[in-house]
Amino acid sequence: MLPGDCHRFLSFLQERDPVIVTEWHSSKSPECEAVMRPWERGSMYCLWNQAVIPALSREITGQYFNVRFTAPVIQFSYASPEIELWNGQPALVQGRIWASFENDDKSFESWYNAAVRWVRKNFIRDRAIGHDRDSIGPEAYEWFKSGGLLLPSFAPPLTDAWLAWASVQNQHRDTLLSR
């Protein structure tokens, strides 16, 4: 996702339900406060639907306060909107949405499925890029077509295998542009 993709996704969720975006981790407080304009900075967020769970707080885990992984919330990892270079090429790190379904909560399952359906409907799946199960935001896809590289959820080491993987993406882009 790029910022516009993130903004559209979060706007959908917040227009549909009373959803608060909060930090997953905190070094200061168990209280879950809303993050304003989260698309302007990357982080590990918690998407908290107050219609599903009216109250939410973080639990102390060592030095930090964290949302429980089993809570009926969506973990939203949004990489930094700042484009960084990987091997001299502008690159964007993959994010994700994830949830635990340890509790049998049909309202949470329905909400999570609505988020997934929205992503599948509004984002692009291009298996040739190397993310065979994942979707790419429209803004990020246009950025990719103009020369960007879409990385996995981390900046991989510069090994022959990862350089070959990036080369396949670049070749695929050239194929898209020659159509």
What's the whole-number average pLDDT of the chain?
A: 91
Q: Is the pLDDT of residue 55 over 60?
A: yes
Q: Is the pLDDT of residue 136 over 70?
A: yes
Instruction: Give 64-99 pLDDT, tens digit per residue.
Output: 999 998 999 999 999 888 889 999 999 999 899 999
Q: Is there a contact between 54 and 83 (Cβ–Cβ < 8 Å)? A: no
DSSP bridge pairs for 49: 19
pLDDT at residue 16 in the model: 96
pTM (two decimals):
0.91
Q: Which two tokens stand for residue 8?
A: 């559209």
Write the secondary structure of 2-71 as one string of H (helix), E (strand) and C (coil).
CHHHHHHHHHHHHHHCCEEEEECEECCCCECCCCCCHHHCCEEEEEEECCCCCCCECEEECCEEECCCCC
Q: List the 89-93 sheet strands across, edge first.
A: 84-86, 89-93, 149-151
Give the alpha-carbon dihedral of 57, 60, 66, 68, to 10 degrees. Answer: -70
Closest CA to 73 of 38, 107, 48: 48
